[in-house]
Structure formats: structure tokens, C-alpha cells
Amino acid sequence: MDYTATELMICCASRELEDGKTAAIGTGLPCAAAMLAQRLHAPNLVILFEAGGVAPLLPTMPVSVGDSTTIHRAVMATSMADVMQFCQRGLVDYTFLSGAQIDPYGNLNSTYIGGSHLKPQVRLPGSGGANDLASFCWRTLIIIKHDRRKFVPKLDFLTTPGYLTGPGAREAAGLPPQTGPYRVITDLAVLDFHPVSKRMRLCSVHPGVTLEQVQAATGFPLEIHEQLQTTAPPTPHELELLRQQVDPQRYLLNRN
């Protein structure tokens, strides 16, 4: 293959972003995906950064959500409070998240691993804005490395809500209906969530990856889409834009 797992993940994430939609993103892979989408098929994608940049035209890869490039030719340079209330008002279509653990219903843990909250084995950064974004944006896209330590049957701590305990649980908790996790993009596959059971479901496996490899890397049984596909590899044009315009310094592309 003439592409890396990182490049494939970015391209998969980029394809999910539609022209004219809004997306609250962070730095790293989500930012690369949004930049690629703007340059390829979604020139009117409205990007929002947690620190307050609204609708910038990113000239280069920002190093943080408060980088000056996040307000380059932007419509607005505002605050975190404004960006969060945009989400609460239902104005943001997509957000990107990740975490140390994910369970069958798309709930995420980014708080601690092992032990207790007061005495964890590993203390993690915490929610940041992840809980707010996953609670109120219409669709949550999750990018995460695929292995059994991350894909677990039960989280050590629930930081960010997915479908909680299953059908109807988000609504019962007071979260807006029709919101929730939409896609999980990993280095092995693309997954969605069954519309009835709300459990994670395998949609496509990446080229060269088998169904058995994906299940072996998952700590719980996966539902399988009735039309399981093979992920389309990056096109030459996607790779050219990604390597020459989105990340020419290889901040992300050298990571595997």
C-alpha cells in the first residue's frame, strides 16, 4: 500500500463531512480531516474551534485550539462560552472526539484507568469540552486506535455520553433526541451504531484487514452490518492534498 493507517483514517473522517455543515473540531486528526474536506468536497464546511474560532480558512495545521491560525479569515473570533452555546442551541452538526476507552454504546472514558477516581492507576486529562460536545452536537465522530484495551465491555469511568445503556437512555437522561455517536473510525475499520439496539456495528473493514482481526481487537461482540464492505482506500488526489497542503510538515502523517 502507498498510504499509511493514519492517512486512511484521516481520509475516512474527511469523507463524513458534508458541504455546508458545521463541525466543532480539535487539533490533530480531526483538524486534518476538516482541512482535507474543505479542499476537496466541502468548501463551505463551517469549522468551529473550542477556544472561539468560527469558520476560519485554515492556511496551515494549527498546533492548538487557541492557535492564531484558528481565526485566519474567520467569521468570528469569540469565546468557548459562545461555541458551547452554539452546540446547545443545535447549531453544530458534527464533532470529533477520542478517548482512552470506548464501550459498545459509544460511551467514552478520558478520566482515569484502573483503581478509583481518588486513587487511579493512570490519571487522564479528563473531559475538557468532550462531554458538552457529545451531549449537544447532532453527530459525534470518534477516531480511536483499535485494540482490546480501548474497546472494552465496561468503562472504568464514563466521561462522555454515547448511547449510555442503550435505546432511549440518552433521552431519559435529558439529552436532545436524535443526537449521539455516528461513526467510529479506527486503524482497522469503520463502525456505526445499530439504529434499534444502539450497539456498535461494523460497517467496513480496511483493505488487507479481516473481520476476524477486527473482532479479535475488540473486547466485546460486534454487530455486523448486513452489507459489510471494504473501506475505499485513499485516492491519489486525497493523498496529494493531504501531503502537500494539509500536513506538508508531517506533524501527523509521520505518526503510525
Q: Which residues are catalytic?
A: 50
Q: 56 to each of 29, 47, 137, how far by Cα in Å?
A: 17, 7, 19
Q: How far, in Å, CA of 125 to CA of 70, rounded?
A: 22
For 152, the grid coordinates are 472494552
Q: 217 to each of 148, 168, 170, how far by Cα in Å?
A: 5, 28, 27
* Residue corresponding to grid cell 502537500: 244
Q: How far, in Å, CA of 125 to CA of 129, rounded?
A: 11
Q: How far, in Å, CA of 198 to CA of 70, rounded?
A: 35
**CB within 8 A of 41, min separation 6: which ones?**
15, 19
The tally of CA atoms less than 13 A away on the side-chain side of residue 159 is 23
Largest CA distance in the chain: 50
Q: How many CB atoms lie within 10 A of CB 49?
A: 26
Task: Classify 138 as helix, strand or coil.
Answer: coil
Residues in the chain, how many? 256
Strand partners, 189: 205
For 233, the grid coordinates are 482506500
